[in-house]
Structure 1
Amino acid sequence: MISNPIEKYRPFVAFDRDFSERTWPSKRITQAPIWMSTDLRDGNQSLIEPMSVERKLRLFEQLIKIGFKEIEVGFPSASQTDFDFVRKLVDENRIPDDVTIIALTQSREDLIRQTVESCAGAKRAMIHLYNACAPAFRKIVFNMSKEEVKQIAIEGTRLIKQLTAEHPETHWLYEYSPEVFSTTEPEFALEVCHAVMDVWQPTPENKIVFNLPATIEATTPNMYADQVEWMHINMRNRDSVIISVHPHNDRGTAVAAAELAVMAGADRIEGCLFGNGERTGNVCLVTLAMNLYTQGIHPGLDFSDIDEVRRCAEYCTQLPVHPRHPYAGDLVFTAFSGSHQDAIKKGFAQQKPDALWEVPYLPIDPADVGRSYDAVIRVNSQSGKGGVSYLLEQEHGLVLPRRLQIEFSRAIQRVTDETGREVTAADVYNIFSREYLEQRKPWTLVRHRITGEAESGSGRQFEIEVELEHNGETRKLIGQGDGAIAAFVDALQSKVKVMDYHEHAIGTGTDTRAACYIEVRIDDAPTGFGVGVHGDIVTASFLAILSALNRHETHAVAPATQEAVTA
């Protein structure tokens, strides 16, 4: 009888002997692995509200833009939405020729048939079959023997080989996962993989993928690496096999487990952007890729505009990325400590453009991911930004987005540095008004008129006529776009890219006004905000764009990196 709660647990042991053959501790990663994104399958399954077709399509296109060549696009037999999405990709020819789509299925005949049907006609498609092999699943979930579990994998593989042969227009690949590999006896996992291999008959030109998932992260990363290397050493026909790993993050060590697994012989990593996934998530592919980047190894993935990737992921998953998330969080390049700020400032001052990166406290140049160093209020550091935004909200109903809070804190800091005194609530609003609301030159909005739908067949919905005053000269402009803001930006004929948009009401009833906060990027300058307040939300958004444009053209906001140097 267990009397102490901790006695319910025992350490997992993968081998009944020491695995002395290991070589991974002396290895280094010298090249990027094959990346497989499972955002649209494993990531989507974990969401409170699964992605719509529109959101899945947007994320799929973002994954293509990043550079993923293998994308698990869904679980077509699990829902009609997933099936329809995969068919949409195939039927509308949305898959680049060098990209392989992957569809997951359990080993049941009806599910396998539906999965193959969903992918048929694609240029390159991979069917991913899985069944759980771990002792707890054999005993508790399935009540099956080892031989029965192995037969499930064999029969499923045989059917997939038969069905895919009926669609020669598609280049078919195959992936098999002994699910819960992390707690399966390695000898049995290898036995099942070999049985699958005997059916599929892979070659060096047409390899099979054996995925070794840490479906439940049950061990320390070094033990997972031992399991992977044991499979790597003992796998038959290794030149015809791609060993893949799929680490979950139950113990919070998925990144380490993935990196050690590559040292141990893995060729491929499956995961999600920003670690999305069931329970504590899948391994974060952004972190893994950028970790390689900091070691001088190009990951083969493009995160040069990490804010765009993050915003897309947040929109599609409806989940926020933590402000302290490595490389992508709002605050990862922000130092609140005075000593940290001083060291970073001195590092920027000495850093040469063509030299090795050596700025203290910053493991990567923020510019390489499209970011800059965000300075903060040095006095009462952490509460400074929060206090300022609190006063604006309480006194004036202005609810600033997080990045605008950081940006505006610089203006407050300039005042406190110059005056040496603490600012009041009235001071805060006056500074905010001067920085954003009163930015009416060189561009001033005179009037605007939405004239209706644009030219038929253009793919655009709005046409707008705008009258602006520019340095005293009146200009009449016309723009088109798929929305009022897009049409207005088009009319400006400048390199303005809207990066983020927030709005809310101020007041109630007939006195209600709209506050609009728009973050834009102009040319290659760092992003900056504009703010507009008006009784009409469309007009408020136009005022916000002109506020940002005017601030840019009058150099109201210095680049954050330079400000960090001179502060």
Structure 2
Amino acid sequence: MAVKNPRQGAAMAVYRSSRWQSESGRSNGKSIYLETTLPISHWANLWFGIILQSGDEKWRFFKMLIDIGYKEIEVSFPSASQTDFDFTRRLIETPGTVPDDVWLQVLSPCREDLIKRTVESLKGAKKGLIHIYLATSECFRRVVFNFSEEETLELAVRCTKLVRSLTKDDPSTAGTEWAFEFSPETFSDTNPDFVLKVCEAVKAAWEPSVENPIIFNLPATVEMATPNVYADQIEYFCRHISEREKICVSLHPHNDRGTSTAAAELAQMAGADRVEGCLFGNGERTGNVDLVTLGLNLYTQGIHPNIDFSDLGRIIDTVEICNKIPVHQRAPYGGSLVVCAFSGSHQDAIKKGFELREREAKGYDDPWQIPYLPLDPQDIGRTYEAVIRVNSQSGKGGAAWIILRGLQLDLPRGLQVAFSKVVQKNADSLGRELLPKEITALFEQTYFLTDNPRFSIVDYNITTDRSRSPAPAEPGKTPVTKDLMRVFNGVISVDGREFKLQGRGNGPISSLANALRGVGVNLDVQDYKEHAIGRGRDVKAATYIECTAAGSQMRVWGVGIHEDVVQSSLIALLSAASNFASSRPGSPFVAKPANVNDNVVELNLNGST
């Protein structure tokens, strides 16, 4: 079927303001359609939610849709079951349930007896929206109904007039503000000129106004073509229907080809005003278009969808409980893995992005630019701790990020590499990813932050070696001793046995390293880093020391945390010594056996008693 429809530039599309949305400065809350020359604004099209559940689940779902901001909700198919009819009545008759600005929409096929039952279900509502549908495609007319085009058109008009007579023309229902929606079902498979003919006749029968437009809902009842084709069909309808200002063009894309989101977005660009869909794409077969995806797609482009997705976890819980269908782990925005990274290079990029954002003191109002994260996870109720997930394929950045978030330890690059190997080995042995709490526990265990280390300080003091006299002081001044050697004297516990050690060096760390030679540990310090944890009186020092075993290429790391900077560095060196000892199982550490009867053994620097 060839239709001449030369495509035009997008008129207004995804940044049109919502119908019936009351906001200061926006036509006193009445319908408003902006001119086609708009730049991108902060407004979004109208979103329409559909409830597919029953019973208590349906009630809970309705309350959730209200809480997050939906203003038009299709609540039932009242003529289909007593349950749906009773649910509609319960909504209307329960005080405070339906806000005054929310439209209750109910659905009916084009059958006169069912339409009467449907209208009856809405009596007493503040705002009622009657939605009737009739399939218009050649396939349905021939196979299902055995209707001609004329018979289809006549039925659509007759049912529209019936709805009108039972609603806005009936004085007994004057307390309800009525709206009307007509769906040429199977629109996307119908001759577009026949759709226009039917809709023109329906519009004439209803007589809409600019203030209360008729809704023409144009479904891709079964998704049958690429998204651009659906958008072209919408554009053709918008350009050729008369009295466009009295019409709200609504979309109803299904997801049979997996492109309902693209179809909805392109069709909005083609001129549509409204989208019908379900949260997380529930619905018939492969589902309706996902309103969460559509809304947050706008949000990531700087356009607020006017729907509150800030606690997406609560929305997911409600949807899963009510639908008894889990949201897929990789569903856009809602999936549990959406803002998670397993790849090492991805994790490293994310970590660097957060570090740069922190250094530049970026806040909530600054543009969000973090690699691999299209939006701030906190905007949808996620935590940063959940961003990075670690398995055997993850690199150094992932584990380092978790340690930074969990323990406030900013690991130097060398330690990141060393610890990532520990993590990968552990993940391989378990055959699964490691949870953040498991990674922090593994770090504390590996570097002896909580478990008993092989080496630990029992008592110590560090003094200045005055065996070498400092340079003579000027008259009246104190001799300068800063360049003199330091002497470590202390008691070190090695695997539970205590040894009194002494060592000399140019500072506390080198003097302790020298002393450790007395128990068979010969380490050279290669790298040293430190930073503060916390602020004010509660500040602590975190120290990282990399050592090599003398005469070998073996490298070990140690970590120390303490309120005292010097003691933190000594603990870090002993942590490295503990790792050195653990890498040499069965090897003796004390050069000469200590007297088992002595609790403390005197050793000189050569290891002789």
Please give the range of the TM-score, normalised by the shorter of the 2 chains.
0.5 to 0.7
Partner in structure 2 of residue 35 of structure 1 = 47
Q: How far does the alpha carbon of each residue in 1:364-393 deviate from its partner, in whole angstroms, 9 at most, with x for none?
A: 0000011023132243559x99x989979x
SS in 2 for 1:24: coil
Q: Does 1:217 align with 2:229?
A: no
**Mapped contact 1:122–1:170 kept (Cα < 8 A):** yes
> Do the aligned partners of 2:390 and 2:435 also contact (CA within 8 Å) in 1?
yes
> Which residue does 1:248 correspond to in 2?
254
Instruction: Indicate if the aligned counterparts of 2:14 and 2:44 stay in contact, CA closer than 8 A.
Output: no
Take 1:312 and 1:268, find their aligned partners in 2: how far apart are those partners?
24
Q: Is the Cα–Cα contact under 8 Å of residues 224 and 261 in structure 1 kept in the other structure? A: yes
The reply on whether 1:357 has 2:359 as its aligned counterpart is: no
Structure 1 residues 177 and 377: CA distance shift in structure 2, 3 A: same
Q: Percent identity?
A: 50
Q: Measure, in 2, the Cα distance between the counterparts of 1:17 and 1:110.
A: 37
- Offset of 1:65 from its aligned partner? 0.5
Q: How does 1:482-501 map to 2 (within 5 A)?
A: none
Shift of 1:413: 1.5
Distance (Å, rounded) in 2 between the aligned partners of 1:79 and 1:389: 55
Change (3 A) 1:389 1:172: farther
Name the structure 1 match of 2:565. Answer: none
Query: Structure 2: which 5+ residue stretches go unaligned?
Result: 16-39, 396-422, 452-609
CA distance in 2, matches of 1:391, 1:76: 54
Aligned-pair CA distance for 1:23:
2.5
Deviation at 1:19, TM superposition (A): 1.9
Q: Quote the offset at 1:117 in angstroms.
A: 0.4
Larger of the two Rg values belongs to structure? 2
Tell me the distance in 2 between the aligned counterparts of 1:245 and 1:210: 9
- The structure-2 alpha-carbon separation of the partners of 1:203 and 1:389, relative to structure 1 and needing over 3 Å to count, comes to farther
Structure 2 match to 1:376:
389
Gaps spanning 5+ residues in structure 1: where?
1-14, 45-50, 393-404, 422-429, 431-567
Aligned AA for 2:338? V
| Whole-Å separation in 2 of the counterparts to 1:253 and 1:390 | 41
Say if 1:24 and 1:225, in contact at 8 Å, map to a contact too. Answer: no
CA change 1:27–1:286 in 2 (3 A) is: closer
Give the structure 2 partner of residue 517 of structure 1.
Answer: none
Q: Which residue of 2 aligns with 1:161?
A: 164
Shift of 1:238: 0.8
Name 1:62's counterpart in structure 2: 64
Matched AA of 1:133: T
Residue in structure 1 matched with residue 322 of structure 2 by the alignment: 316
**For residues 215-263 of structure 1, what are the alpha-carbon distances to aligned partners after superposition, in whole Å with 9 as ceiling and x for unaligned?**
1111111111110011101111111110000000011000011011111
Between the aligned partners of 1:32 and 1:76, the Cα distance in structure 2 is: 30
Q: Would you say 1:345 and 2:371 are equivalent positions? A: no
Query: Is the alpha carbon distance of 1:106 and 1:17 closer, same or farther for their aligned partners in structure 2, counting shifts above 3 Å?
Result: closer
1:287-324, Cα deviation, whole Å (9 max, x unpaired) = 00000000110100000000000100111111100011
Partner Cα distance (1:389, 1:18) in 2? 61
Amino acid at match of 2:375: I
Q: Does the aligned pair in 1 maintain the 2:392–2:428 contact within 8 Å?
A: no
Secondary structure, aligned partner of 1:335: coil
State the distance in 2 between where 1:341 and 1:391 align. 21
Deviation at 1:191, TM superposition (A): 0.4
Quote the offset at 1:411 in angstroms. 2.0
CA spacing shift, 1:251–1:113, aligned 2, 3 Å = same
1:114 aligns with 2:121: no
Aligned to 2:79: 77
Q: What displacement does 1:144 show? A: 1.0
Residue 286 (1) aligns with residue 292 (2): yes
Map 1:20-419 → 2, pairs under 5 A:
20-24=6-10, 29=15, 30=40, 31-38=43-50, 40=51, 44=52, 51-93=53-95, 94-164=97-167, 165-166=169-170, 167-351=173-357, 352-353=362-363, 354-373=365-384, 374=386, 375-380=388-393, 409-417=435-443
Instruction: For 1:276, give the aligned amino acid.
Output: N
Amino acid across the alignment from 1:85: F
- d(CA) in 2 for partners of 1:52, 1:130: 22
Separation of aligned partners in 1, 2:74 and 2:47: 11
Distance 1:25 1:114 in 2: 40
CA RMSD of aligned residues (A): 2.4
For 1:273 and 1:371, the matched residues in 2 are separated by 18
Distance 1:176 1:54 in 2: 29
Higher relative contact order (CA 8 A, sep 6+): 1
Residue type at the aligned position of 1:299: P
Contact 1:229–1:264 (CA under 8 A) maintained in structure 2 = yes
User: TM-score with structure 2 length normalisation?
Assistant: 0.60
CA contact (8 A) 1:248 1:281 kept: yes
Alignment of 1:424-443 (within 5 A): none
How far did 1:184 drift? 0.5
Q: Is the 2:232–2:270 contact (alpha carbons within 8 Å) kept by the matching residues of 1?
A: yes
Normalized per residue, which structure has more helix?
A: 1
> Could you tell me the TM-score, scaled by structure 1's length?
0.64
Report deviation, 1:162: 0.7
Change (3 A) 1:21 1:330: closer
Aligned partners of 2:197 and 2:100: how far apart in 1?
A: 35
Change (3 A) 1:390 1:288: farther
Query: Against the structure 1 CA distance between its residues 324 and 177, is the aligned structure 2 distance closer, same or farther, given a 3 Å change threshold?
Result: same
Contact 2:185 2:219 in 1 (8 A): yes
> Per-residue displacement from partner, 1:504-554 (whole Å, max 9, x unpaired)?
xxxxxxxxxxxxxxxxxxxxxxxxxxxxxxxxxxxxxxxxxxxxxxxxxxx
How far apart in 1 are the matches of 2:243 and 2:178?
Answer: 20
Whether contact under 8 Å (1:76, 1:83) holds in the other structure is yes
Output the CA distance in 2 between the equivalents of 1:84 and 1:170.
19
Structure 1 residues 324, 126: CA separation in 2 closer, same or farther (over 3 Å shift)?
A: same
